[in-house]
Structure 1
Amino acid sequence: MQLEDKIILVTGAASGIGRQTCLTLAAHGVRIYASDLNAKGAVETCEEIQDAGGRATSLQHDVTDQASWCEVVEVIERQEGRLNGLVNSAGLMVVRPFHETEFELYRRQQTVNVDSVWLGCQATRTILSRSAASGGASVVNLSSILGLKGGAMHSAYCTSKGAVRLMSKAIAVEFGKLRIRVNSVHPGLVETPLGLGSMQDMIDHGAPMPSLEAAVSMVAQRTPLGRAAQPIDVANVIAFLCADESQYVTGSELVVDGGFTAQ
């Protein structure tokens, strides 16, 4: 994939899909800016990239804060003068029965999953548009299959990820004239701390499953490809959307669920 020497900012880079996306992009020659509220985790991601011969810089970043976004973009502007891609991977998953979901918790879900994407697309628009003039630029927003379908105990999460899906399409329409592509990626269950943590939360709040292992096995059995996803499965799709090979793909939703929602 044509990714060599691109500058890409990845949020939520301390673990899970965000970390693997950084590693995968760096292996293709991308200069990574890895941001996360968890500064130590972001540093560890960058150290792993550097140990493999790649280039990466860590940034502590509160994706729900507009001033923090401005600071991150200023650093990239000062150090690189360009930005070829943004991957909005930072996220939170609230698992509660609807009637037990406090409004404050619901609002926190929207702030982390929706507001952060809005703020990120606004904060990076200018620098992305300058870079896009010489070959295009890409924004990839992490949604979920629960942004396409409902899920018990995930009403707040479904609300946020459905919003990311349509926000991505609307921004794609406006950003098209700037040659900035905007797409959303919709994973199913991924074996990350977030994904496995959500399964455990379901069990803790009454889902009829005897254990986390049994829950993961049940999902795998219901998936046509016969397993839950690994972070690399999602990272490879994100890498394609950041690469020049996807230069005519925008406003799309790419589902990465092993066929789970095809049934």
Structure 2
Amino acid sequence: MALVTGAAKGIGAHTARLLAEAGATVVASDIDHGGAAPDRGRFIAHDVTDGEQWKAVIASVEATEGRLDILVNNAGMILNKPVLSTTLEEFRRVQTVNVESVWLGMQTAAALMARSGESSIINLSSIYGQIAGPMQAAYSASKGAVRMLTKAVAVEFARAGYGIRVNSVHPGPVDTDLGRSGLAPGIAAGRFASEAEAKAFVAAQFPMGRWVETADVAGVILFLASDASRFMTGTELTVDGAYSIL
């Protein structure tokens, strides 16, 4: 039984489908009410920044599915803005969506997940939680926090004997609406004539020659959700075609 947040589109939607194809019953949640349920499961409206909604979602999973084995904290946002023009309110909003939601998810789901005996939490971070992101100070701060939060909770849960593994995934620029939004400042500044030109420029920065695709990330999430990674916890897996090591 799996719960995937931010599952209306992008990485979350692909992950929900892949987990369902692998045999899991999947609850796909998103603040976007237009999300589609995977073949094996259901969709539920969910604002991941709201602690009371987290309680309601976990209670619904417990009442309907009876257990929770996999939690994918995927919901998030990005802010492409210079630090000197980013307001404190904007900075706080990024932390609320990207960090507090992960905290709430792990904290609220832990008791139910511990009953499974062996379960897995996968938190979506970013390479910009490992390296600096251009005009992404608020975003980098949030994803760096997710990286270290994952490690701290992994150790705590392991030592407590909860049977819950906690790992993070760090994609490079992903070919989704959210990922491509990072091209807008360069286009607005006249550096690129079009989105296609900007996208091609970024693709050329990947040693493997293309952007990250949602399937690349979903496959790694499936691995971390499966018994194939049963002795991995507190680990960060980078999915970027060597983009971040140049």
TM-score (normalizing by structure 1): 0.90
1:202 is displaced (CA, Å) by: 4.5
1:20-39 correspondence to structure 2 within 5 Å: 20-39=14-33
Tell me which residue corresponds to 1:4. Answer: none
Tell me which residue corresponds to 1:210. Answer: 193
Please tell me whether the aligned partners of residues 157 and 164 of structure 2 are also in contact (alpha carbons under 8 angstroms): yes
1:1-263 correspondence to structure 2 within 5 Å: 7-41=1-35, 44=36, 46=37, 49-50=38-39, 55-131=40-116, 133=117, 136-176=118-158, 177-204=161-188, 206=189, 208-263=191-246
Change (3 A) 1:57 1:174: same
Tell me which residue corresponds to 1:3. Answer: none
Please tell me whether the aligned partners of residues 27 and 44 of structure 2 are also in contact (alpha carbons under 8 angstroms): yes
1:208 is displaced (CA, Å) by: 2.6
Please tell me whether the aligned partners of residues 145 and 186 of structure 1 are also in contact (alpha carbons under 8 angstroms): yes
Change (3 A) 1:217 1:124: same
Give the distance between the partners of 1:224 and 1:97, measured in 2 at CA: 27
1:217 is displaced (CA, Å) by: 1.2
Please tell me whether the aligned partners of residues 92 and 112 of structure 1 are also in contact (alpha carbons under 8 angstroms): yes
Unaligned regions of 5+ residues in structure 2, if any?
A: none
Deviation per CA, 1:49-70: give whole Å up to 9, x if none: 32xxxx1111110100000000
Give the distance between the partners of 1:175 and 1:221, measured in 2 at CA: 41
Give the distance between the partners of 2:109 and 2:190, measured in 1 at CA: 41
Unaligned regions of 5+ residues in structure 1, if any?
A: 1-6
SS of equivalent residue, structure 1 residue 189: coil
Give the distance between the partners of 1:227 and 1:25, measured in 2 at CA: 25
Equivalenced residues, count: 244
Give the distance between the partners of 2:153 and 2:130, measured in 1 at CA: 18
Give the distance between the partners of 2:231 and 2:195, measured in 1 at CA: 41
Please tell me whether the aligned partners of residues 96 and 202 of structure 1 are also in contact (alpha carbons under 8 angstroms): no
SS of equivalent residue, structure 1 residue 178: coil
Give the distance between the partners of 1:246 and 1:229, measured in 2 at CA: 22
TM-score (normalizing by structure 2): 0.96
Give the distance between the partners of 1:90 and 1:109, measured in 2 at CA: 11
Which AA in structure 2 matches 1:151? G
Deviation per CA, 1:206-230: give whole Å up to 9, x if none: 3733322122212211111110011
SS of equivalent residue, structure 2 residue 20: helix
Give the distance between the partners of 1:207 and 1:174, measured in 2 at CA: 48
Comparing 239-248 with 175-184, greater Cα deviation is found at 175-184
Give the distance between the partners of 1:219 and 1:66, measured in 2 at CA: 37
Q: Matched residues, percent identical? A: 46
Deviation per CA, 1:130-183: give whole Å up to 9, x if none: 11x2xx100000000000011221000000000000000000001112111100
